[in-house]
Structure 1
Amino acid sequence: MRVLEEIAIEDLGVIRTARVPLASGLTVITGETGAGKTMVLTGLGLLMGGKADPGAVRPGAERAVVEGRWDLTRHPQAAHRVDDAGGAVDDDGTVVVLRTVAQGRSRAHLGGRGVPQGVLAEIAADLVTVHGQSEQLRLRTPGKQRTALDRFAGAAHAGLLADHRAAWAERAGLQSEIDDLTARAAERAREAELLRLGLAEVERVDPQPGEDVELGALVARLGNAEQLRQAAQIAHDAVAGEDMETEGSAVHAVEQARRSLEGAAADDPALGEQAKRLAEAGYLLGDVATELSGYVADLQADPAALEAAHTRLAELGALTRSYGSTVDEALQWASDAGLRLLDLDDGGDRVEAMRARVAELDEQVASLAARLTAGRRSAAVRLSEAVTAELSGLAMRGARLEIEVTDSDPGPAGADHVAFLLVPHPGAPARPLGKGASGGELSRVMLAVEVALATASDDEAGSVLPTFVFDEVDAGVGGRAAVEVGRRLASLARSTQVVVVTHLAQVAAFGDTHLVVTKSAVDGDATVTGVRAVDDDERVRELARMLSGQDESETARQHALELLESSAVGR
């Protein structure tokens, strides 16, 4: 089982070019100081969405490139996230990740598609867990300790935690809305009163849709009645004269033209068609003449109607100055204001309903928090026993881990404060990891916790384990403790992929795969030319070098062989 298949690096730090194949089980990476072992982890960090440092680009190179391949066959959610980001997962379930770093910028690609580096971090969070000095520091924080305990507590506990977070978030949202409505009660009341006054004014005036436009046209007609009558009379006389037979009128001229064409139509039918069109024009002119005659007869000056129209327009104008530039806009304002008033008047009822829901959620949150506390206390006993047993095997016999679950202020994760306390030897007081553990002890406690989590039952573990990457997990240890560190890493690797960068032969001897970072000089510039897997005699020589600094030392070679034999038996 593995997530990381390989990493290819170009021009990163001291590395000019290197390809790191990663197998299942325990992979150990060794090499001389300065060869670039940590740059392998730096490259992995970039693939996981870590911050890019332009200073890490190899001197003389324009950019650094890191490419990796992830196997997502056992991580369908991660594969779906790749699809959501527009990347392509290969048919074999793998995806290629690429990161380039240059001066002032970096770029990330996932499955052939450019993505923000945050997407890589989001996906990698569930795939790979990196442990180094900074991760050890994080293990000292109560939040991280609570997270580890929750993970050990299992899938059912994780479901309770998710329900608690959801209920807490809903309650917080409702309370925030209640506080806002309560704080703005006076402001809402003033707004409601203004809306009522405006709606009352609109109701009193009772404007009709388009009324201002119609009244404007009426005022223009009544105010210019004499001019309009004269214009209509002149037009009527031009079209029809006194009786439509008046010589020189348009109707008379058209009729003459029609008769002339009809007389000649017998010799040319085309003229007959034109005669028909003139007849139609004559009918149209007759209709216009009739309507103009009626308009002149009906149009009379009406001072009373004109004054009434002016008065109504003034009333509508006062309304539109306050609620819109036209009557239609004022009517739309009234419609919107009515809906807003309903919302404002309903505020009190909504607050009461939300308060009732908050009360329900308070009970739900309290119940879930109590169940979380019970689950954490039960898991704390089991995890402390499991870690203590591991510490005994890690040359910390007599040491034990105590996990305290005490009350704290309620929050999204419950109402518990979790503290990991280390008793380094019988009779010593229990002290928090952040205060009572040395670097070497903290490394072993961290490893013991991970082994305990990895070897928990399915009910406790509840999920597919990520790939673990350890850097300097053997810091501050040696001798028998180093051997036990290697043994525990090998035990962890039975359940998942484990990658370890180490400087201890006792740890490296337990590796299923042993990779050596080699260094060579090119034009006086120390560069890494590759990472090679070693086996058999080459592996013995590398372990001998790690033991004594002399890979040809017969004594060191014998010791290396003994380590390999004992590690094989120990597994």
Structure 2
Amino acid sequence: MLRGLDISDMLIIERLELNFQSGLNVLTGETGAGKSILLDSLGFVLGWRGRADLVRQGAAQGEVTAWFDMPEGHPAFAVLEEAGLPSGDELILRRINTADGRKTAWVNDRRCSGDVLRALSETLVELHGQHDDRGLLNPRGHRTILDAFGSLDAKRAKLRKAWSEMARTRKALDAATKAQEEIRAEEEFLRYAVAELDKLNPEEGEEAALDIKRRTMQGAEKIRADVVNAYEAMGQSGAEAQMADAFRWLDGAAARAEGALEEPMAALNRAMVELDSAMEGVVSAIEAMSFDPYELEETEERLFAIRGLARKHDVQPDELAGFADTLRGKLNALDAGEAEQAQLKADVKAAEAAYDAAATALTEARKKAAAKLDKAVSAELAPLKMERAVFATLITDEAEGPEGRDAVSFTVATNPGAPAGPLNKIASGGELSRFLLALKVCLTQGQSGLTLIFDEIDRGVGGATADAVGRRLAAIAEEGQVLVVTHSPQVAALGAHHWRVAKSVTKGMTTTDVVPLDHDERVDEVARMVSGDTITEAAREAARALLSA
């Protein structure tokens, strides 16, 4: 609830402090006195987009401060928490506009953006008037208004949950389908590649082992002939035979050599033993170097095949086995994907059915709420001298979404048989005011703590109709707070609190002032509204009658 407004150097307001109360607060004054400036100033501190030239001429900056009561559970607390701003049982908004157009805002003495102010304003104040596009005249908000009137929050929440689930399952199915299409596009390659890899069946480390074996066989082929020649040179047709002949000759001569040949014969015997050992080693080497020429060819063929596949698939030879598993996994996914897609399609179908059921239920609930709202508004129109007018909530189909598949718009026909049309297109100024008031009366029933502002909503009506307008404003104010800018004495007389807006010129400077009125002052102000500039005693009597009614 708006408790106060402090304005400095805004347009023709030099300094002004207002303290508002619950109930019906009326602001009156002559045309041009500055009543709209109060609303411009309030809109400025609430972050609403409006006129740019707000700073009073000659001032360096203009400043507006507004403070609100904050009952427990007020929706503004959620905005403050999200913005990281302090909160309490009072909310203070302050905003400055410099002469060069720069704007700075504070919430509870913390700097904030205009976006935060606007988010807070949505929870604090509602402005209604003939030219207001923020409230009831904006068709984009009619669905939300109808849902609030019908208490359809639970059905909307269920529908949004169904929409999210439907979107999730559709997204999952699209992703799975895309993945399947990508795999299927290379299915022929995958099957050929896997078959080729399975046929070769490469093992980790095999390429290095084959390379060593190949080089060993290639080297053995080159040296084996020399080793065989060496063996033959040491064998029975070579050194071994000659050493044996030498030993026999020495042995035959040893008896006559008086011991001179014993040492040479011993050395020759040792040499024969070593030669025999060498020959055994050479035989082993020759055996190790013996291989089937076809084995070298087979080794080379497998080595080259492994390396060729590695180059073909741009992987290391040791990675071929793992690569084959990867390709095989894709093929398995292709086969398993069909079953997965079938399940996902079933999930989508179930989610779509759930959404359809929730959307249908919400549509039916909206139709019932619309019929109830139409009946309630029609009942309010009769006392406002519009008993022949027709108010209808039109529900039409639109593309499905998280809020359903219903487009909602408030339509009116001002006379029987006349075509119905949008609220802000068909009704004249006075009629529109009464339609808006009747609608607002119906929408605010059961609500409390609201701050509603009506800007000359009684324009174009008078007499009993104006009295009916005032009584409905007073009825709305019983559960909250209403500020109304009015030129109607009938409306002004019904206010619980009354301020007069007046303009004066001092030393060539025009300023606006707003003063609270006591009972006698209210009599004179209502009398002025009845009779004009010259207040007669008859006008005062009429004013007293209105105030006592």
TM above 0.5: yes
1:554 to 518, 523, 537: 537
Structure 1 match to 2:77? 79
Tell me: CA distance 1:388–1:465, structure 2 relative to 1, closer, same or farther (3 Å): farther
Q: Secondary structure at the match of 1:367?
A: helix
Structure 2 match to 1:162? 157
Structure 1 match to 2:218? none
Query: How far 1:448 sits from its partner (Å)?
Result: 0.5
The answer to whether the 8 A contact 1:323-1:333 is kept is: no
Deviations 1:221-253 (A, max 9, x none): xxxxxxxxxxxxxxxxxxxxxxxxxxxxxxxxx
Measure the CA separation in 1 of the matches of 2:121 and 2:134.
Answer: 21
The answer to whether the 8 A contact 1:30-1:515 is kept is: yes
Structure 1 match to 2:494? 510
Structure 2 match to 1:213? none
Measure the CA separation in 2 of the matches of 1:478 and 1:17.
Answer: 34
Q: Secondary structure at the match of 1:384?
A: helix
Measure the CA separation in 1 of the matches of 2:429 and 2:73.
Answer: 34
The answer to whether the 8 A contact 1:54-1:101 is kept is: no
Deviations 1:102-155 (A, max 9, x none): 33432222122222222222232133211123436964555433332222112x
Matches within 5 A, 1:51-450: 51=49, 53-90=51-88, 93-102=89-98, 103-135=100-132, 139-140=136-137, 142-154=139-151, 157-176=152-171, 178-179=173-174, 182=177, 186-187=181-182, 189=184, 351-425=341-415, 427-429=416-418, 431-432=420-421, 433-450=423-440
Measure the CA separation in 2 of the matches of 1:428 and 1:119.
Answer: 47
Deviations 1:163-185 (A, max 9, x none): 11232233234435544654575
Query: How far 1:527 sits from its partner (Å)?
Result: 1.8
Measure the CA separation in 1 of the matches of 2:325 and 2:118.
Answer: 50
Measure the CA separation in 2 of the matches of 1:320 and 1:17.
Answer: 85
The answer to whether the 8 A contact 1:142-1:418 is kept is: yes
Structure 2 match to 1:303? none
Q: Secondary structure at the match of 2:132?
A: helix
Tell me: CA distance 1:175–1:105, structure 2 relative to 1, closer, same or farther (3 Å): farther
Q: Secondary structure at the match of 1:476?
A: coil
Residue type of the partner of 2:533? Q
The answer to whether the 8 A contact 1:87-1:112 is kept is: no
Deviations 1:488-507 (A, max 9, x none): 10011111211111122221
Measure the CA separation in 2 of the matches of 1:342 and 1:563.
Answer: 88
Measure the CA separation in 2 of the matches of 1:187 and 1:17.
Answer: 72
The answer to whether the 8 A contact 1:380-1:403 is kept is: yes
The answer to whether the 8 A contact 1:391-1:444 is kept is: yes
Measure the CA separation in 1 of the matches of 2:439 and 2:542.
Answer: 30
Measure the CA separation in 1 of the matches of 2:307 and 2:51.
Answer: 69
Aligned residues: 456
Residue type of the partner of 2:434? R
Structure 2 match to 1:451? 441
Measure the CA separation in 1 of the matches of 2:194 and 2:449.
Answer: 65
Residue type of the partner of 1:5? R
For structure 1, list consecutive stretches of 5 or more residues without a partner in the other structure: 210-311, 457-462, 567-571
Structure 2 match to 1:22? 20
Tell me: CA distance 1:140–1:128, structure 2 relative to 1, closer, same or farther (3 Å): closer
Query: How far 1:547 sits from its partner (Å)?
Result: 2.6
Measure the CA separation in 2 of the matches of 1:172 and 1:207.
Answer: 46
Measure the CA separation in 2 of the matches of 1:331 and 1:447.
Answer: 79
The answer to whether the 8 A contact 1:454-1:465 is kept is: no
Q: Secondary structure at the match of 1:125?
A: helix
The answer to whether the 8 A contact 1:550-1:556 is kept is: no
Measure the CA separation in 1 of the matches of 2:471 and 2:51.
Answer: 35
Residue type of the partner of 1:361? A
Structure 1 match to 2:3? 5
Query: Percent of aligned pairs with the same residue?
Result: 36
Tell me: CA distance 1:140–1:527, structure 2 relative to 1, closer, same or farther (3 Å): closer
For structure 2, list consecutive stretches of 5 or more residues without a partner in the other structure: 206-302
TM score, norm. by length of structure 1:
0.68
Residue type of the partner of 2:384? L
Deviations 1:157-216 (A, max 9, x none): 22101211232233234435544654575445558999999999999999989xxxxxxx
Residue type of the partner of 1:386? A
The answer to whether the 8 A contact 1:519-1:527 is kept is: yes
The answer to whether the 8 A contact 1:369-1:415 is kept is: yes
Tell me: CA distance 1:120–1:353, structure 2 relative to 1, closer, same or farther (3 Å): farther
Structure 2 match to 1:280? none
Deviations 1:468-520 (A, max 9, x none): 11112112222221111111100111112111111222211111111222323
Measure the CA separation in 1 of the matches of 2:311 and 2:173.
Answer: 36
The answer to whether the 8 A contact 1:544-1:550 is kept is: no
Deviations 1:345-365 (A, max 9, x none): 876555444432221222212
Query: How far 1:382 sits from its partner (Å)?
Result: 2.1
The answer to whether the 8 A contact 2:204-2:319 is kept is: no
The answer to whether the 8 A contact 2:412-2:420 is kept is: yes
The answer to whether the 8 A contact 1:6-1:22 is kept is: yes
Greater CA radius of gyration, 1 or 2? 2
Structure 2 match to 1:216? none
Q: Secondary structure at the match of 2:454?
A: strand
Q: Secondary structure at the match of 1:135?
A: coil
The answer to which of 392-401 and 340-349 deviates more is 340-349
Q: Secondary structure at the match of 2:49?
A: coil
Q: Secondary structure at the match of 2:33?
A: coil
Tell me: CA distance 1:192–1:523, structure 2 relative to 1, closer, same or farther (3 Å): farther
TM score, norm. by length of structure 2:
0.70
The answer to which of 428-437 and 540-549 deviates more is 428-437
Q: Secondary structure at the match of 1:520?
A: strand
The answer to whether the 8 A contact 2:183-2:330 is kept is: no
